[in-house]
Amino acid sequence: MGIGKTKGTRKRFPFLLATMRGISQVFLIGNWVTGLLILAAITITSFKLGLMAFLSAAIGTLFGRLGGGHPVSVERGLYGYNPMLTGMALFLFLEGPVSWGIALFGAAVSAAFTASVMRFLQPAGMPTLTFPYIVTTWLLMLSSYKFEAFKVTDKLVPQHLSDWKLEIAGEIHWLSAFLDGAGQIFFLQGILAGLLLFLGIFVADWKMGLYAIAGNFIGMFTAYILGGEHTLIDAGLYGYNAILTALAVGVVFRDGANRLSLYSTMISCVLTVVFIGSVDTILLPFGLPALTMPFALSTSIFIGARLMMR
């Protein structure tokens, strides 16, 4: 695509491109082609989920525009990724006649929450990450216990910690588990979806692609060495948070003058796996998914430490 055509496309479809970049910002990337590949991966897995992803990201982008968000932040898609993930999560984890409406409402709330978190964290030099998505999703899921019009899906079962048993047995299909590591960021499983997602990262930046692969491997093998459940490793549930951590700590928020960045990235990915275990344990009585909280916690710790100890 030529430069003139790219500029013309930007002039003709600014809202659509900002929405696509919002989708790509889940990977901390501001590239509309990456966003298109992510949306394709979601849509081929589930058309309804793909539609929800696009509408939710569009709601976030529209909120940023109409609400007077900084034009550069809106164009980069920084108002779109948290609403997108929120809409997808609520669409999957809630049931009932108004579940679609609740999912889109959650996307709008997440957009407002994103603006609030940006207001408080940006002056301190800290990124927003996915905290708005996590908190909004958890709160709306918990509210379902008090209303009849929507409820949490039966797939999420609250459990008492004393009744929990660790099941290690099970075969791990390492290739599919590796690809599902990327897919689980968007609640996806499947070889084609995983390939499209990794392709989306490499299209934007080959270095980020290598870090995503490394983070995925570190997450999977750390969980295996520590004796994590094989079924969870096989489903990619120990890889997706580590991928995001590797991208954030290793590339996006890396201090170029810090020679320990590579080592801190490896350690942060290991810590992310440990946090997966702790967050899952805390949430057992509520039947809530961990989402990307392990990534957000581990990344915030290392970025904050770098700001204080340059």
- Is residue 116 located within the same domain as residue 174? no
Residue 7 lies in a domain: no
How much is the pLDDT for 1?
33
How much is the pLDDT for 256?
66
Domain-ending residue, one of 101, 118, 152: 152
- Is residue 185 located within the same domain as residue 300? yes
Number of domains in the chain: 2
111 φ, ψ (degrees, to nearest 5): -65, -45
- Is residue 134 located within the same domain as residue 251? no
Residue 2 lies in a domain: no
CB 247 within 8 A of CB 211: yes
Both tokens of 199, joined, read: 């392709």
How much is the pLDDT for 11?
58
How much is the pLDDT for 310?
65
Residue 5 lies in a domain: no
How much is the pLDDT for 2?
34
- Is residue 118 located within the same domain as residue 183? no
How much is the pLDDT for 143?
95
Of 269, 250, 264, the C-alpha closest to 210 is 250
Residue 277 lies in a domain: yes
Residue 280 lies in a domain: yes
pTM: 0.92
Domain-ending residue, one of 152, 171, 191: 152
Q: Indicate if the alpha-carbon torsion angle 255, 259, 260, 264 is positive or negative.
A: positive
Instruction: Write the CATH number for 240.
Output: 1.10.3430.10
Domain extent for 91: 13-152
- Is residue 53 located within the same domain as residue 25? yes
- Is residue 198 located within the same domain as residue 296? yes
How much is the pLDDT for 125?
86
Residues of the chain with confidence (pLDDT) below 70? 1-12, 256-259, 310
